[in-house]
Structures are given as structure tokens and as C-alpha cells.
Amino acid sequence: MLPSSTVENYLKALYQAQVALENDKALVPMGQLASAVGVAPGTATTMIKALAKSGLVEYEPYLGVRLSTAGTALAAMVLRRHRLIEQFLVEIMGMSWTEVHEDAEKLEHVVSDRLIERMDAMLGHPSVDPHGDPIPTPDGDMAPHRYHSLLTCPLHTQVKVTRVADQDATFLRFLEAQRLKPGQALEVEARDSAADSVQLLTEGQRRITIGTKAASKVLIEVA
Amino acid sequence: MLPSSTVENYLKALYQAQVALENDKALVPMGQLASAVGVAPGTATTMIKALAKSGLVEYEPYLGVRLSTAGTALAAMVLRRHRLIEQFLVEIMGMSWTEVHEDAEKLEHVVSDRLIERMDAMLGHPSVDPHGDPIPTPDGDMAPHRYHSLLTCPLHTQVKVTRVADQDATFLRFLEAQRLKPGQALEVEARDSAADSVQLLTEGQRRITIGTKAASKVLIEVA
DNA sequence: AGTTCCATTTTGAGAAATCAAAATATAGGG
DNA sequence: CCCTATATTTTGATTTCTCAAAATGGAACT
Ligand SMILES: [Mn+2]
Ligand SMILES: [Mn+2]
Ligand SMILES: [Mn+2]
Ligand SMILES: [Mn+2]
């Protein structure tokens, strides 16, 4: 039985929640899963019970759910497809990194292995997508990077944007306009917890201030 | 309401059946539609009654069904996507014309307008796909070509393969091996109705014999 | 007109995915 | 230990799509 798009979406959401939880054995609460997938809580419960029966997840009533080995492998392939497609759309098709997510969200469920490996080859086997998200390898491994964000990195130090943890097109366009897309260099000048803000000095000596919520979504590495 | 993949498949099958019938007002029998879509006859009846209610087809019980103006426009867009995708997979992705149909069959339901128009531009607005099938324009027009086949064309005359009316990968690979893919030149040497066969002289002076059923699926134009 | 054949429609049922709202469990605070 | 807030599960229903098999319509042939 090959998984439906719906099943693939549940597995992918679970995979991403588990990566965020950082703990391999941790359970993802049903409410969080439901809102990640965009369904009512009861819908998620029903679906997860079915996935547990087919061995893709381990379900502990009232506690939460985690991927099985089989489920993890499947989810990694969905994520691999999603991110390779995004990279393809930007690099080969010339689309903007701010708008490829929605297309990839659909295409990830229908591209054949043949086609996805063709894309991978054309792109030279990239390790990250246009948002800096790591691309799982064909055997499902994914580099478990440990990032700083503009909220946690040292002040007055040259850093480089390497990843953006939000797919919202409006937010991505904002970052692009402010010279904050992956690859660009900058320094954090100051943080003001009362004002809930972070002051930056971007490439080209432009000084800007953004909120801490936004700052936490811009992941960086020290140069 | 945007149409589901299922609805798109029914409309596309109907469109292609009507093009084959050559008559704009003709009705496609339910049995033929059902087998084109690959469902049981009763399933097609149920679906068509729903499509009639939403105005996409005109249904005459016991006689058959035809596309409405709205249905025709929608079907033409599905076919446009299918054929542009096939051309893209061959020209840009370097895949074989013998294997792109299955991928296109899935992708045609999920590619965005943005993406399909990007493909169209990259390909230089092609008028036919890798099998010689005409690509409807963005406003739904499709050149209504009148073809000869290897079964109906004059003998001892230089002709050129322009279109293949079958998507079966095995058949397409056969044509490729025999130098009978679109663009290649040849002559029909003789036809033998008793033997149910057609004798050809292909490019490079190779002499081969094929059955009439196969010959009728190779469409040509006189050079 | 009667019979037979084939295509089509109807019927009854089921799988997959969903929701709203009611019921229940768990965890914390008093 | 009770009560309450919150998360989760259960229930009952709906939508979309499908099938097998029974019923029916239409055409054609004696
Ligand atoms: Mn994405
Ligand atoms: Mn991404
Ligand atoms: Mn095709
Ligand atoms: Mn084609």
C-alpha cells in the first residue's frame, strides 16, 4: 500500500515536530500534530490510530505519538522530495525562494523516484534547500544541525544567515528586502528585552530593528 | 470550487474522446468514457450526473455525454498542462519520450499556473509535445490537425512521422528502436491486407514490417 | 410481438478523510 | 480530595469516490 498524500502530510509533520523536540523518544502531543496538519483534533486521533495499526507510528493514548522506524524512513523521503523540489524551482526554474513552498507542498506527493533523482543530479546533489533547510539523503539521513538565531548569537560579531524557520511568503519577502536571506552577512548590535526588539547592522551598513519573534526565526552561524 | 484530480481526469478523457469523434455535437457513450477513465460503468454514470449538475457537461441518459463550454475550457487546460509537462521532462530534464506520460499524468493535477507558464517560456512556447500531440494555447485553442497514418498514406512517397497515437511505453520503445519516432522520415513500400501488415523503408534504408494496428497509430505527414 | 443481447442505470455498500459537539481523561490548584 | 481548566477521545454525520450485482432500457432479429 503506497501512502496517500494525506498520510504523507501527517508523517512529515510528525517528523518535523520530532526534529524540533530534539529528543528521539519524545512523544508529539495530538493537539500540536492536529494544528500542524491543519485538521480538527478528533481527526488527528482517528488518523493516528489507523497509522499505528499499519505500523508507521507508535501511539500512546492521551500522551502523544512518535514515528516508527518505517514511518521515519517514509517521512524523510517526503521531506527530501519537498526540499529538492524547492531547490529545483529556484535554481533551475528561476522562481523566487519566497514562493516555492506552496508548489513543493503539492509536488512532493506526486514526483516519481526517477524524476526526483534527476533533479538531484541536475542540482549537483545539494545539501540544503533555498531556505537553508537540510535535504535528507536518499537513505534518509539528515544532518542534525545545531543553530544559533539572531536572538541567541553573540553581539558585535560577524554572522551569516544560514536558515529561515518560517515559510510565510510575506515574512520571506520582508527578509529579502532587509538583506536577511540565507548567505547574507550581518551583526547583532543590541537586544532590548523591554522593547522586545533586536537591532541589526546588515550588509551595506544598513541599521534595522526587528521584533524578537522574527529574530528567533532567522538562524545564523558565526563567520 | 476547484476541480479534483478525479474530475479533471473525467473532463480530459471526454475532451479527447470528442476530438477523436471529430464532431462537436456528438455524444460520448458512457461505456467508452468509463473505460477511458478506468472505472466501472455505474461509477461513470454517477460522476457524470454530478458534473451535469455543476454545469461542466451535458448529459443525455442512455445516449451519452458531451462537454459544456465551461467543461471544454477546463479540459483544455488539463491537456495543456499534461503536454507542456511532457515536453519539459524531455527537453529540460533529459528524460525519454517513452516514459514521461506516467509522470505527466500525476503532475498535470498539481502544477500551479505560475509554474506551468514558466515551463512554457523555458521551452519557447512549443506547439507540440514529444509524441507530436498538439498543445492547447493558454486560451484553450488547439490546432485540429488532420493526419494520415502509415495505413492511409500514399505508397512509395517520402513521409515523416509527426505524431504517435498511443502512450504505452513498450510500444514507444519499439518505435524508437525501429527509427519510427516523431521527426524521422520513411516510405511505405507495400500493404498486405491478407497478412494484416505494412512494409516500411525507414531512415538508413532499413526494411521492416509491422501490423496494421501498429501502423494506424503512427501518424505522418507527406514531406 | 416476442426474445435475446448489450449498454446503461440503479441500488446497496464500503473506504478514506473530514468536522462539530459531546464525553472523558489528566493535571493542577485549592 | 474535590474541582476546574485543558487536552484528548468518542460519537454521529457528511463528502467524495468507488465497486458489484441487480434492474431496466433500447435495438435488432426472428
Ligand atoms: Mn517548504
Ligand atoms: Mn524549504
Ligand atoms: Mn501523455
Ligand atoms: Mn503526449
**Best residue in A106, A116, A122 to probe B by mutation, most B CBs within 10 Å?**
A106
Q: Give the nucleotide nearest to A42 (CA→C1').
A: D9
Q: Identify whether A102 is part of a domain.
A: no
- Residue B223's pLDDT is what? 78
Instruction: Give the integer Cα–Cα distance in Å for B202 and A208.
Output: 70
Q: Identify whether A13 is part of a domain.
A: yes
Percentages helix, strand, coil for chain B (3-state, rounded to 5) are 40, 20, 40
Q: Does B114 touch chain A (CB under 8 A)?
A: yes
Listed residues A67, A100, A120: the one ending a domain: A67
Residue type, A64: G
Instruction: Give the integer Cα–Cα distance in Å for B193 and B197.
Output: 6
**By the 8 A CB rule, do B217 and B132 touch?**
no
In chain B, positions 134-193 with C-beta closer than 7 Å to nucleic chain C are none
Q: Identify whether A94 is part of a domain.
A: no
Q: Identify whether A96 is part of a domain.
A: no
What's the CATH number where A176 sits?
A: 2.30.30.90
Residue A14 pLDDT exceeds 90 = yes
Residues B189-215, buried b or exposed e (16+ Cβ, 10 A)?
eebeeeeebbbbbbeeeeeeebebebb
What's the CATH number where B11 sits?
A: 1.10.10.10
Q: Does A95 touch chain B (CB under 8 A)?
A: yes
Q: What are the chain B neighbours of A110 within 8 Å (beta carbons)?
A: 106-107, 109-110
- Residue B155's pLDDT is what? 95
Can you tell me the mean pLDDT for A163-185? 96
Residue range(s) defining the domain that contains residue A183: 148-222
Can you tell me the mean pLDDT for B74-100? 98
**By the 8 A CB rule, do A119 and A104 touch?**
no
Residue A195 makes CB contacts below 8 A (sequence gap 6+) with none
> Tell me: the pLDDT tens digits for A49-77?
999 999 999 999 999 999 999 999 999 99
- Residue B23's pLDDT is what? 85
Q: Number of structural domains, chain A?
A: 2
Q: Identify whether B132 is part of a domain.
A: no
H or E element: which one contains B37? helix B30-37
Residues in chain B: 223
In Å, how far is B106's CA from the nearest CA of chain A?
Answer: 6
Sign of the Cα pseudo-torsion (A20, A26, A31, A37, in order): positive
Q: Identify whether B78 is part of a domain.
A: no
Residue B93 pLDDT exceeds 90 = yes
Q: Does B104 touch chain A (CB under 8 A)?
A: no
Nucleic strand C under 7 Å from the C-beta of A31: no
CA A45 to chain centre: 24
Can you tell me the mean pLDDT for B36-41? 98
Listed residues B67, B83, B103: the one ending a domain: B67
**C-alpha of residue A169 to centroid of ligand 1, in Å:** 10
> Tell me: the pLDDT tens digits for B161-182?
999 999 999 999 999 999 999 9
Instruction: Give the integer Cα–Cα distance in Å for B122 and B137.
Output: 15
Threshold 0.85, pTM exceeds: yes
